[in-house]
Amino acid sequence: LSLLGAAPGAPSCPHGPALLFVKTSQGREEGRRFYACSACRDRRDCNFFQWEDEKVSETRLAAREEYNRNHQPSFTHRQNVDRYKNFVLLPLSKRRFCQECQQLLLPAEWENHSDHQFLCDITTAQLKSPSQLLYPLENKKTNAQYLFADRSCQFLLNLLIDLGFRRVLSVGTPRLHEMIQSKASQEEEFSVRSLLLDIDFRYSQFYTEDEFCHYNMFNHHFFGGEAARETCRKFLYEENGERIIMVTDPPFGGLVEALASSFRKLMAMWRETGKEGRDNKEMPMFWIFPYFFESRILDFFPSFSMMDYQVDYDNHALYKHGKTGRRQSPVRIFTNLTPSMIVLPEEEGYRFCTVCQRYVSSGNQHCEICNSCTSKDGRQWKHCVLCKKCVKPSWFHCNNCNCCTLQMHSCEKTDVGCFVCGKAGHKRSACPSLSHS
């Protein structure tokens, strides 16, 4: 399956305009092109499907519009802001949150939710930490709300402040946004501002229209239309020399090319704000993603480089820093900032490599032959003379396969190669021909 991207006049599902796909075999297009939901890779989450050349009847179009309308949230963002104002005026004993509907409740609505589970006595501190009040949506490909652990969130915020950024476009990073908002309300001298763009509309209950935009990062769709787009545009206009950076933490099962397309459009919005000298520049960015997507990300953003810092998550069994998870987190920061500027905490075992001019993890030893700190996963890698590169310590060179691989592997499997282009040496998900399409 290959993504052809956003197409003008594409049909819409409840998640906004659909994306155009085509089935591929051995690198060639096969069969008809079709539209499918941009956000949900699993048909059980959104079963939208339409052939590109299909003539859709008026009746079906009307039914689809009706379906899309019925699958929109029950309150608008403006209504949710008004409800929040009323909610905070209530005494503690009357502040309830419905866990089943994931909704703040006003006393007049209690009756309708009488058989649901409640959280009572919702404090101001809880309202300022909605990511802890709401339950995480853990569909790997659509929402995958694995939320930054406090350690990683605090590190990111300190790093942004040290680098001189005063505005953060938080794309799918609710916990970072929350930390910034919370500090801004408590500390007068704290000058960082954040705008959260997220597909999870539940956050509209806690943030105003200047603090949150309902946004799909797979098709660059603002659900609030032109008004929300304008909010984002205004935020990207840097007043008084306040530097801005975009920080994004997409679902790891999402399509890299769809995400890259949206991020380019956000960068274009930033360029269009009319500031001098932006024509050929990229908006500063942190893209947080697993290290094994490095080649795909660099295909779309050649100016990016990967930092060694391990980002960890509160609610993910595997992606925990150091020894607390079942394995070390594979999640890294990809950035277009100069690597030497990204100072990593020495107390966590990071050190500065003077040759590479960047901070690396303690196990990442400089290879004299590659002239680089080559490890991706924090362990010390070893150089293979035959492969002419460094490989994982558990790999050995197999003369049959003519490459390094795990010792206990079956040689015949390597003949199959990639399902897309048929070549050996990579899997379908990392196929270069997918990136170019």
Of the candidates 414, 416, 421, the residue with the CA atom closest to the CA atom of residue 435: 421
Q: Compare 30 and 229 and report the one with higher pLDDT.
A: 229
Instruction: Look at residue 277 in the predicted model and tell me its pLDDT.
Output: 62
CB contact at 8 A, 307 and 335 = yes
The CATH classification number of 150-362 equals: 3.40.50
As a whole number of angstroms, the distance between CA 30 and CA 15 comes to 27
CB-based burial label for 30 (10 Å; 0-12, 13-18, 19+): exposed
Residue 432 has pLDDT above 80, yes or no: no
As a whole number of angstroms, the distance between CA 131 and CA 114 comes to 24
As a whole number of angstroms, the distance between CA 269 and CA 231 comes to 12
- pLDDT tier for residue 423 given thresholds of 50, 70 and 90: low
Average the pLDDT over each of 56-70, 276-290, 386-400 and give the range with the smallest value: 276-290
- pLDDT tier for residue 435 given thresholds of 50, 70 and 90: very low
Residue 98 structure tokens: 């419905």
Span 101-127, average pLDDT? 94
Q: What is the pLDDT of residues 161-188, one digit of tens each?
A: 999 999 999 999 999 999 999 999 888 8
Instruction: Look at residue 237 in the predicted model and tell me its pLDDT.
Output: 87
Q: What is the 3-state secondary structure (H, E, C) of the chain?
A: CEEEECCCCCCEECCEECEEEEEEECCEEEEEEEEECCCCCCCCCCCCEEECCCCCCHHHHHHHHHHHHHCCCCCCHHHHHHHHHHHHHCCHHHCEEECCCCEEECHHHCHHHCCCCEECCCCHHHHCCHHHHCCCCCCCCCCCCCCECHHHHHHHHHHHHHCCEEEEEEECCHHHHHHHHHHHHHCCCCCCEEEEEECCHHHHHCCCCCCEEEEECCCCEECCHHHHHHHHHHHHCCHHHCEEEEEECCCCCCCHHHHHHHHHHHHHHHHCCCCCCCCCCCCCEEEEEEHHHHHHHHHHCCCCEECCCCCCECCCCCEECCCCCCEECCEEEEECCCHHHCCCCHHHCEEEECCCCEEEECCCCEECCCCEECCCCCCCCEEECCCCEEECCCEEEECCCCEEEECCCCHHHHHCCCCCCCCCCCCHHHCHHHHHC
Span 211-227, average pLDDT? 96
Residue 123 has pLDDT above 90, yes or no: yes
Give how far the C-alpha of residue 331 lies from the chain's centroid of Cα atoms, to the nearest Å.
11
CB-based burial label for 174 (10 Å; 0-12, 13-18, 19+): buried
Residue 278 has pLDDT above 50, yes or no: yes
As a whole number of angstroms, the distance between CA 300 and CA 305 comes to 12
On average, the pLDDT of the chain sits at: 87
CB contact at 8 A, 37 and 46 = yes
Instruction: Look at residue 429 in the predicted model and tell me its pLDDT.
Output: 55
The structural domains of the chain, with segments of one domain joined by +, span 2-71, 77-122, 150-362
As a whole number of angstroms, the distance between CA 14 and CA 12 comes to 7
pTM: 0.87
Of the candidates 78, 134, 130, 82, the residue with the CA atom closest to the CA atom of residue 106: 82
- pLDDT tier for residue 23 given thresholds of 50, 70 and 90: confident
- pLDDT tier for residue 326 given thresholds of 50, 70 and 90: very low
- 71-75, 90-94, 377-381 — most confident range: 90-94
CB contact at 8 A, 156 and 177 = no
CB contact at 8 A, 15 and 199 = yes
Of the candidates 286, 387, 382, the residue with the CA atom closest to the CA atom of residue 337: 286
As a whole number of angstroms, the distance between CA 252 and CA 189 comes to 36
